[in-house]
Amino acid sequence: MSSPDTTVDARPARRLTIARAIAEAIGQEMERDPDVLVMGEDIAKLGGVFGTTTGLLDRFGPERVRDTPISETAFIGAAVGLAASGMRPVVELMFVDFFGVCMDAIYNLAAKQSYFSGGQVTCPMVLMTSVGGGYGDAGQHSQTLYATFGHLPGLKVVIPSNAHDAKGLMLAAIRDPNPVVFMYHKALQGMGWLGTVQRSITDAPEGDYVVPLGKAKCVREGEDITLVGLGLTVHQSLDAAAQLAEDGISAEVIDLISIAPLDRETVRASVRKTGRLIVVDDDYLSYGVGAEIIASVCEAGIALRAPPQRIAFPDIPVPFTPVMEHFLLPSADKVTIAARQMMEVSSR
């Protein structure tokens, strides 16, 4: 799943969770660059509710690893000021659902610094947050909101599906001169208290490397149908591809990794080959990632052998009760069924 490791030495493979990969990347960059600092709720003593800053307080001290009050408008605004002053803040707000309280600082401030100043002022900051449901935490703790952030000019938005990419993306995000919204999916995070898709726990080089922002990756090659996912839905797509292979259907899986910028070309290249497309997304259906991907393919005039499809969360708040939530969430089985149907329709 991860990119081929280019180092030649016989380094023993590590098994890194996304949480540890993020913390490792931030720590390494703090060592390399004294302008990097971390702040957010519960990120110092606790090491982040999702483990993204574990160990950093002990290594770098409270000046550079700051627990904040529950004052998001203030500390995210402060991060923009720090960035404008030449620092490189990494800010956490633990759930994407909470961004409502401080959205102005994100989309009207951070995202527009460069443009409004005609390039005089930059905003090199990382805003990291958890996304996703599936564990019964109800509608203010289970959203992904990819499209909400992908829609806003001036923000880069990434979401790793595995630890290797998480580390490389975080290093790239901290070094980027723009605000980067770094989303990590709770079902992939590797927390002791929440189940984790094992495939997200990967090896990763101990040293420095970047996974470029804005580049998608083909993570399984196939001939018959293209499955596009991001974060958790990459794994659902891979599981579906394995099931489909048993039926003799060869599915290609694209991991978007980034939705802004969106690597339309990688998706188009795949669909040119397969002629069939399903986008799997755990964000709300309408105006979402799926719509954007399908539009990108259609706009390129690519001939399709079947109508393209979106599998996403319906346009309703995320309900608490598991019988409803799991009914609504995308799953590998839903992808498999949709792909089989698409194959039948188009071979007729």
Partner 1 sequence: MSSASNASDRLWMYATMVKSRYFEALIKPAYFEGKSPVFNMAKGPLPGEMHLSDGQEPCAVGVCAHLRPGDTVTATHRPHHVAIAKGVDLDAMAAEIFGKASGLSGGRGGHMHLFDARVNFACSGIIAQGLGPAVGAALASKLRGDDGVAVAFLGEGAANQGAFHEALNLASVWKVPAVFVIEDNAYGISVAKRDCTAVERNADRAAAYAMPGHFVPGNDADAVHAVAGEAIARARRGEGPTLIEIETCRLEGHFMGDAEGYRPEGEVERLKARDPIPAYRARLLADGFEAADLDRAEADARAAVDAAFAAARAAAYPKPEEAFAHVFA
**C-alpha–C-alpha distance, residues 147 and 145, integer Å:** 5
- Tell me: does residue 41 bind ligand TPP (CB under 6 A): yes
Looking at 14, 114, 121, 136, which residue binds partner 1 (CB under 8 A)? 136
**C-alpha–C-alpha distance, residues 193 and 135, integer Å:** 11
Q: Which does 322 bind (CB under 5 to 8 A by kind): ligand TPP, partner 1, none?
A: partner 1
- Tell me: does residue 286 bind partner 1 (CB under 8 A): no
Q: Is residue 141 annotated as part of the catalytic site, yes or no? A: yes
DSSP type of residue 12 = P
Which residue is closest to ligand TPP by CB?
A: 98
Rg (CA), the chain: 20
Write down the least CB distance from residue 95 to ligand TPP, Å: 7
Instruction: Kindly tell me which of 194 and 242 has the beta carbon lying closer to partner 1.
Output: 194
**C-alpha–C-alpha distance, residues 71 and 8, integer Å:** 47
The helix (H) or strand (E) run that includes residue 182 is strand 180-185
Looking at 70, 245, 298, 316, which residue binds ligand TPP (CB under 6 A)? 70
- Tell me: does residue 287 bind partner 1 (CB under 8 A): no
* Closest C-alpha among 128, 131, 115, 37 to residue 78: 37
Q: Which does 198 bind (CB under 5 to 8 A by kind): partner 1, ligand TPP, none?
A: none
Q: Is the dihedral of CA 56, 61, 65, 70 positive or negative?
A: positive
Q: Which of residues 187-206 bind partner 1 (CB under 8 A)?
A: 192-195
- Tell me: does residue 139 bind partner 1 (CB under 8 A): yes
- Tell me: does residue 319 bind partner 1 (CB under 8 A): yes
- Tell me: does residue 135 bind ligand TPP (CB under 6 A): no
- Tell me: does residue 98 bind ligand TPP (CB under 6 A): yes
The CA distances from residue 322 to 138, 139, 168, 187, 190, in Å, are: 9, 12, 34, 15, 21
Looking at 15, 198, 322, 341, which residue binds partner 1 (CB under 8 A)? 322
DSSP type of residue 321 = S
The helix (H) or strand (E) run that includes residue 201 is none
DSSP type of residue 320 = S
Token pair belonging to 59: 């290594």
Peptide bond into 308 cis (omega under 30): no
* Closest C-alpha among 64, 69, 72, 140 to residue 109: 72
- Candidate list 24, 29, 41, 72, residue with the active-site label: 72
**C-alpha–C-alpha distance, residues 122 and 315, integer Å:** 36
Looking at 46, 74, 101, 300, which residue binds ligand TPP (CB under 6 A)? 101
- Candidate list 24, 29, 92, 141, residue with the active-site label: 141
Write down the least CB distance from residue 222 to partner 1, Å: 31
Query: Rounded to a whole number, what is the largest CA-CA distance in the chain?
Result: 66
Considering only the stretches 4-12, 31-39, 93-101, 298-306, report the one whose residues sit in contact with ligand TPP under the rule CB under 6 A: 93-101
- Tell me: does residue 337 bind partner 1 (CB under 8 A): no
Considering only the stretches 39-47, 152-160, 213-221, 222-230, report the one whose residues sit in contact with partner 1 under the rule CB under 8 A: 39-47
What is the identity of the amino acid at 190? Answer: G
Tokens 């090659």 label which residue? Answer: 221
Catalytic residues: 72, 141
Q: Which parts of this chain interact with partner 1 (CB under 8 A)?
A: 41-42, 45-46, 49, 67-74, 97-98, 100-101, 134-141, 192-195, 314-317, 319-328
Q: Which parts of this chain interact with ligand TPP (CB under 6 A)?
A: 41, 70, 72, 94, 98, 101
